[in-house]
Amino acid sequence: MLKKIPDIISPDLLYTLAQMGHGDDIAIVDANFPATSHAQKLIRADASNSDQLLSAILQLMPIDDFSSDSLRVMAMANGELPTIAQDFSRICHFAEDREVLPHGLSRQDFYQQAKNAFCIVATSERRLYANCLIRKGVVPPGSTHS
């Protein structure tokens, strides 16, 4: 056991987060997402939902602040952002103490970017369109890690 690591973060996910570098993407996807066929690296996070997992990950991982699309979500078929996109944005704001706006992608664009992600974390989330991509940022010199 380790201290200060959220219980929802598995050893495989913790190792993967540590391996990621600045600019790498992690996809957090719902139960309907074709994760196995799209992942270069797949981590299962069964019995968790997308927003809980995002919150736990962001306790450990910084979000890139060099680009305006560090938070990408799958848009619905009509092009609108799903309700959960605002939840993702609030979670990012809380973690980073800055506004992180969701950038909508069509289903096919999201699939393509997820295929290129460092890893896909598959949840058992049942809400539709509960998928996001987060771009890893940097921990600047002199900042604390605890």
Catalytic residues: 22, 64, 111
Work out whether strand 42-45 and strand 71-74 pair parallel, antiparallel, or are unpaired.
unpaired
Contact call for residues 70 and 62 (beta carbons, < 8 A): no
Token couple for 83: 């309700």
Structural Rg of the chain based on CA atoms: 14
Token couple for 20: 């990621």
CA dist 133 and 70 (Å) reads 8
CA dist 106 and 101 (Å) reads 16
CA dist 137 and 33 (Å) reads 25
Contact call for residues 115 and 36 (beta carbons, < 8 A): no
